[in-house]
Amino acid sequence: MVARMNATSDTRPDGERGDTAASAPGSVPVLVAALYDEAPASLRQRLLNHLLRPLGPLALVAVAAGAFARLLPPGRWSNVQVQLDDVWAIRPEQVLDLAQYVEQKAPEMLWRLPEILATSPVVLSTLSGALLLMALRARRASAAAPRRVADR
């Protein structure tokens, strides 16, 4: 799964093909999508509910070519709640788009993923789970490093 996602590239407006930084092999969104692909349904549901938390109704319709639009609640908007049946209709590629959006809009939501993963020790033993935790730790450490230098 990770290899397949890493092999994809985007097409720039000038027609040239190029890889985006967000789809680089060690990027957090790619690892989130790979983990989603391997996760049991209950963890998929928790991952989606967590990642969808910062999205409003317009983003639900726009992200992943509208894949999450069907999750909009009827009537007044409160927040979206993914049901267990919904996880089978959502593909890892759509989760990749969602994770890329969340990485830009609310990166702190990605930093909280270890709390969700901790509820499933089996997932932590998978390659995707371990790589995701390592990538999140590295990202958090690199984000904290400039603050430590500035404090001197």
**Structure confidence by residue, pLDDT tens digits, 73-112:** 888 777 889 999 999 999 999 999 999 999 999 998 988 8
Q: What predicted TM-score, i.e. pTM, was given to this entire model?
A: 0.74
CB contact set of 28 (below 8 Å; sequence gap of 6+): 99, 103, 110, 132, 135, 136, 139
27-40 residue pLDDT tens? 899 999 999 999 99
In contact, 97 and 64? CB cutoff 8 Å: yes
The token duo for 143 is: 């984000």
pLDDT in tens, 104-121: 999 989 888 888 887 777
**What size, in residues, is the chain?**
152
CB-CB contact of 48 with 15 (8 Å): no
pLDDT given for residue 13 in this prediction = 39
pLDDT over 80 (residue 52) = yes
Average of per-residue pLDDT across 33-60: 93
